Each structure stands twice: as structure tokens, then as C-alpha cells.
Structure 1
Amino acid sequence: MEIHPDLSKGLLKTPDAKTVSTNLWKKLACDLNAAGPPMREVAGSKKVWADYKTHLKAKMRRNKHSISGTGGGRSNYCSLTQLKQKVSELLSMEESMSGMVGTLEFGAAQTASNTHIETSVEGNTGESNSLQDYHCSNVEALLARNKTF
């Protein structure tokens, strides 16, 4: 897989990628079977590789969740073996889990706290509270306290 990293990712970029991929998988299955049991066909070798990648990515996702989690208790972080670390680097799994460094992010814009919202909340006391510069949790608390919007 190190010799043909595009095969490991399933991204061969040749005009006859299907044929090249099939031939490389046949050679890999033959080399693995020559190394000893278990003996597998090409489809079996592909499935083992796909399952290995799936389990590795799940482990990395659990580790990331464990690191970013808050609160007390025992850590659920499981260190990666050298082989798993090498496969992770080969497949660029860290980038797929965390994103590429130095790139722009797209999606819902994060606005600064100086955004003005033209709405007010009146409570039972008749006073008006502007929602300008409130954080979401503060707005929720204010709405819960006043119960009218």
C-alpha cells in the first residue's frame, strides 16, 4: 500500500484505472497469500482493507471526541499502534478528521457580538429588554424568564 498510495485510497488517476486497480489488487493478494495464512481472494483482501480503514477512522474519531470532551472521569483515549499511525498518515486520515490546516472554512457565518437584533422582550413588569449584544444562552434565559416574545 505504501508503494501505491493511490490504490490504498481508491484514487488511481490513469486512463485505465479499473484494469490497473484490479491488477494491483491481484498482485497484493498474491503477495499476502505467499506470506502465509489466512489465504484470501482479491475480494477478501479488499474487504479486509476497507474494514481496517473503517475501524481505524472510528478509533480516531473516538479519540478526537475523548480529547475534546469536558468533564471529569476517566479518559477514553486509545493510543494508535505504529502500524495504525502509519496507515493513518498514508491515508491522510487526520486531515479528514480535523480538516486541512491553513484553509478557509465555509458554512454558517460566525457573527461578532456587536450584531444588533431589532427585537425586544417585554416581561410581566412591563420593562423592555433589547436583545442587542446578548449571547444565545443569555437570550434563552431572558426568554424563559419573560415567557413572551
Structure 2
Amino acid sequence: MEEHPEVAKGLGSFSSGKQNNTEMWDKFAGDLNCLGPPMRDGRGWNKLWLDYKLKLKQNIAANKRESVATGGGPFTQLSLSPLEQSVDSLLGLQYDVCPSGSTFGGISRSVKKEASAHIPDTAIEDTFEAAVSENTEGTTGNMEDISRCIQVTPSKKRKLSASAVNEREEERIKFKKCR
């Protein structure tokens, strides 16, 4: 398998690649059957290899789950045999089962830092001002007038007195005028 990693990984399973894989597994079957029982054809050895890879992936995944598990309980990680370790390194199953990064497909922190390093601070401010000006078309006044029209609502609801209700009503009217 080390001499033919593309067959070990299961690559080339279409068209001419599939025919080449079938021929390779027939060759492997002849070599393995010379060693003694069990006797299988190429397809049988291919099935055995696929099942072995699946079981190995499941063991690696179980070890990953166990290593990040919380709570008490006994240590239940499975140790991999030297053969399993060599198959893992040949096929790269450890990376397939346990991809690097906090989430699969997520952007690492170093990539985020590099991306943010290329954005000048003025670009962010310009984008904000452009967004505000788009949303305030048809209004008159500068940014300070617009910011005065923004009303912050309190986080807790409370019963307002009559004077507070009147003040709120006046603020609401001012806000409508600003728009």
C-alpha cells in the first residue's frame, strides 16, 4: 500500500482510474493469497481494506471525543497499534477526522489578523459615514444633528410620570421632524 498510496486512499474510482484500481486490487489479491489463508479475490481484499479504514477512522474519532470530553469517569481512549499508526500516517486519517482549527471551515485567528491588518481604520469610518448618509437621504443637517435625533431606549420598563410622558412625546415629535 505504501508503494501505491492513491489505491490505498481510494482515489481514481471513475472510468479508467476504476479499471486501474480493479487491476491493482487483483494484483494485491494474488500477492496476499500467496501468504496463505484467508483467500479472497481483488474485490474481497478491497472490501476488507475499506472496512479496516472505516474502523480506524471510528477509533480515531472516539479518541478525539474522549480527549475533549468533560466530566469524570474512567479514561477510555483506545491506543493504536503500530500498524494502525502507519496506516494513519499513510492516509492522513488523523487530519480528516480531527481537522485543525476551532471549527471545520472556520477562519483561524492568524488569518483574521492578517485580513484586518490590511484594512485601514479610515476605511471603516468612511464606510460608516457612507451608510449613514445613504439612510438619511432627504434630511437636512450634518452628522451632529442626525446623532441628536437618535433616541436610546431604557433597558428596563418602568411606569412614567405625566411629565415624563409629555417629554417623551416631545422627543418623539422632534425625532419625526429630523427624519
What corresponds to 1:28 in structure 2? 28
Q: Which moved more, 1:4-13 or 1:77-86?
A: 4-13
Could you say which structure has the larger radius of gyration? 2
* Alignment TM-score, normalising by the size of structure 2: 0.55
1:1-149 residue pairs with structure 2 within 5 A? Answer: 1-12=1-12, 16-100=16-100, 105-106=105-106, 126=158
Q: From the two aligned structures, give the one with the greater helix fraction.
A: 2
Give the counterpart letter for 1:40 in structure 2. R
> How many residues are paired up?
113
- CA RMSD for the aligned pairs? 3.0
- Give how far 1:16 is off: 2.6
- Give how far 1:18 is off: 1.9
- Give how far 1:8 is off: 0.7
Query: In structure 2, what is the Cα distance between the partners aligned to 1:32 and 1:8?
Result: 15
Shift in CA distance, 14/44, structure 1 to aligned 2, threshold 3 Å:
closer
Give the counterpart letter for 2:25 in structure 1. W
Give identity over the alignment, percent: 37
Query: In structure 2, what is the Cα distance between the partners aligned to 1:43 and 1:119?
Result: 71
* Alignment TM-score, normalising by the size of structure 1: 0.66
Deviations 1:91-139 (A, max 9, x none): 11011012257xx9338xxxxxxxxxx998758xx59xxxxxxxxxxxx
Q: From the two aligned structures, give the one with the greater strand fraction.
A: 1
Give the counterpart letter for 2:70 in structure 1. T
On the 8 A contact 2:2/2:90 being kept in 1, the answer is yes
**Is there any run of 5+ residues in structure 1 with no aligned partner, and where?**
108-117, 128-149
Shift in CA distance, 63/34, structure 1 to aligned 2, threshold 3 Å:
same
Shift in CA distance, 51/121, structure 1 to aligned 2, threshold 3 Å:
farther
- Give how far 1:19 is off: 2.1
Shift in CA distance, 19/73, structure 1 to aligned 2, threshold 3 Å:
same
Query: In structure 2, what is the Cα distance between the partners aligned to 1:94 and 1:39?
Result: 31
- Greater than 2 Å deviation, 4+ residue runs: 12-16, 104-107, 118-123
- Give how far 1:30 is off: 0.6
**Is there any run of 5+ residues in structure 2 with no aligned partner, and where?**
108-151, 160-179
Query: 1:90 is paired with a residue of what secondary structure?
Result: helix
On the 8 A contact 2:26/2:43 being kept in 1, the answer is no
